[in-house]
Structure 1
Amino acid sequence: MTIRQLPRSLSLISLFILAMIIMVQPASAAAPATLQYGSTSGDVMDLQYRLKTLGYFDATLTLYYGSVTQDAVIRFQHDYGLAKDGVAGPATHAALHKSSVNQAELDMLAKIIYSEARGEPYKGQVAVGAVVMNRLADANFPDTVKGVIMQPRAFTAVDDGQYNLTPDSTAYRAALDAVAGYDPTNGAIYYFNPETATSKWIWSRKQTGKIGRHIFAV
């Protein structure tokens, strides 16, 4: 399995239900404590949730870091080129936070998808989520989902208030697909509607494709 590859085992329906009923606290600004076999804390549940969105953790979320969590961490470390020690330390946390979401971040991702692309085909909705995830992984953009979405003038829906609309289940499903690695944009970090775009700069970017009304670019 390669980085950002869509895991075949990911159950979108199960994850969506999980997102609605499991309350995981947002990650704090401070780096999480190192977690390992035997650890017990809310950070363990956050870790499991993030691993679950990527298809590595297929069990009920708990506060305990047991063998199932350790195995999931090792598989994640293997796929992301990290030391396979089963310990969620700074390097593992950094890689995981660049490629996954907790529930609060999933909510934000679903909101930006719904507000920016609710009239687009499903593939186009996933594409908007993929752009957010691509920016998250790019050193030239903020290093949190909130930071990417709230970056000044980054998204029209944030500026005009549509971001505050309540996302539907399709937006959540698209968000989960984007987090899991489905990227129909071919790595795009920008998109725009050619019928309404007024920026000459955006037309100068290399285009990676068009989905629905949006052109995607790098």
Structure 2
Amino acid sequence: MVPFFTISNQHHDAKAFSNQVIQRGATGDDVIELQARLQNIGFFNGKIDGVFGWGTYWALRNFQEKFGLPIDGLAGADTKAKLVAASNYNRDFVMGQIKKGNDFTYYGGVDINKQIKTNSSSTKSNSTKPNTANNTSNVTASNVPNGYSQNDIRLMSNAVYGESRGEPYEGQVAVAAVILNRVSSPSFPNTVSGVIFQPGAFTAVSDGQIWLTPNKTAEKAVMDAINGWDPTGNALYYFNPATATSKWIWGRPQIKQIGKHIFCK
């Protein structure tokens, strides 16, 4: 389908997105808005279900290419701002259809009332089992320790695996702890995604290893760090002395070495 940019009478919601970087594997309200906005201007043809899968990923990349943005399949601040400016989002309509279990689309230039296929069995089915679509928007609110979303935990697991797989378990917890210490520090972004995707901050982001599928050990290391284990002594930096080329990092006050990494203030 060729993307189109017709501005319709659909409501533009001024309150758009949270501040997280939205990535493949994410779920919840931000993904619902992302899918709806991409569909509104013709880039996304799939079901608006709040699950960031491959269809959403490629739709986002196509949008980025069309609008002259870096093509990385990540909905960061610049991509979200451009998408908000180019599209409309009627949150009440979209969330309402999901909660009702209706099949619907959200293409711009088409009367939204003509894009609904009512699920006549939804009322009956709701009395016997949970409505999966209705629960989608609440996914990020479940099993969230200390205010960290499931997307935060998933992204940290990716970073820990990409940065420190092969290190002793304590060293993997240490990498997760550094991320959390940066989130808490006024010298760094105050979100997990902001810290991890800060330019030049992590080798795994630069070389693409951030997108490797993390193992259970990395996930457990993240949870241990979130639950308070910081083997680094409040470090904000770490480096591998065998590979580090920056003179600046060698000048940071060193706290300790765990595995191959030296952790610094």
Q: TM-score by structure 2 length?
A: 0.48
Question: % of aligned pairs identical?
Answer: 49
**Structure 2: runs of 5 or more not aligned:** 1-26, 34-76, 78-134
Q: If the length of structure 1 is used for normalisation, what is the TM-score?
A: 0.58
The aligned counterpart of 1:122 is: 169
2:258 is the alignment partner of 1:211: yes
1:102 is aligned, of 149, 161, 169, to 149
Between the two proteins, the alignment pairs up a number of residues equal to 139
CA–CA separation in structure 1 for the residues paired with 2:30 and 2:173: 23
State which structure, 1 or 2, has the greater radius of gyration over its C-alpha atoms: 2
Structure 1 residue 208 displacement after superposition: 1.1
**Structure 2 SS opposite 1:209:** strand
Return the alpha-carbon distance in structure 1 between the equivalents of residues 219 and 194 of structure 2: 19
Q: Is the 8 A contact 2:140 2:149 kept in 1?
A: yes
Contact 1:24 1:103 in 2 (8 A): no
Q: Deviations over 1:101-142 (max 9, x none)?
A: 111111100000000000100000000000000000001101
How much has 1:182 moved relative to structure 2?
A: 0.6
Q: Equivalent residue for 1:157?
A: 204
Distance (whole Å) between structure 2 residues aligned to residue 156 and residue 45 of structure 1: 30
The 5-angstrom pairing of residues 51-62 of structure 1 reads 53-54=145-146
Distance 1:119 1:139, change over 3 A: same
Structure 1: runs of 5 or more not aligned:
1-22, 30-40, 55-99
1:134 pairs with 2:184: no
Q: Distance in 2 between matches of 1:214 and 1:171?
A: 16
1:24 CA drift (Å) = 5.2
Deviation at 1:46, TM superposition (A): 4.4
Q: Contact conserved, 1:26 with 1:102, CA < 8 A, in 2? A: no
Q: Which residue of 2 aligns with 1:189?
A: 236
8 Å Cα contact 1:26-1:103 kept in structure 2: no
Q: Distance in 2 between matches of 1:26 and 1:184?
A: 34
Alpha-carbon spacing, 1:24–1:176, altered in 2? closer, same or farther (3 Å) = farther
CA RMSD, aligned part only?
2.5
Alignment of 1:1-218 (within 5 A): 46-47=140-141, 49-50=143-144, 53-54=145-146, 100-218=147-265
**How far off its partner does 1:192 sit?**
0.1
Cα distance in 1 for partners of 2:151, 2:171 equals 22
Give the whole-Å Cα distance in 2 for the aligned partners of 1:170 and 1:160: 22
Q: Distance in 2 between matches of 1:138 and 1:43?
A: 30
